[in-house]
Amino acid sequence: MPDFTDPFRQIVPGRKLTLRELTRAIRLTLAAEEDATSLYEAIADATDNELVKKVMQDVADEERVHVGEFQRLLGILLPDEDELLAEGVEEVDEMAAETPGDAG
């Protein structure tokens, strides 16, 4: 599990991030957003209070938007990012096609 408390612990103070460090920091933000989404959805699922459910799911959905923003940044910064993600999508689509009834 990533440690979200200090994504810059290996960075020398007073200098800017290298591209590799920057993309690593963005990947940590992705992990943090996914963790937050899971937490908010768990709270929504754990209560009968409709207002809390509604607010928690809304906030969870906002975190998913953030994931898209950060993923797009990686796609801009790393030339092969989108290609590798598309490859992963294709692999899952192939497996799903071979496994009828289990896709959702």
In contact, 29 and 77? CB cutoff 8 Å: no
Domains and CATH numbers, the chain: 19-78 (1.20.5)
Return the SS3 of 32. helix
pLDDT for residue 101:
78
Measured distance CA(81)–CA(95) in Å, rounded:
22
pLDDT for residue 11:
67
Measured distance CA(24)–CA(7) in Å, rounded:
9
pTM beyond 0.75, yes or no: yes
6: Cα separation from own chain's centroid: 18
In contact, 86 and 94? CB cutoff 8 Å: no
Phi/psi-derived region of residue 14, left when phi > 0, alpha when psi is between -120 and 50, beta in every other case:
left
Residue-wise pLDDT for 3-54, tens only, equals 656 666 666 678 888 999 899 999 999 999 999 999 999 999 999 999 999 9
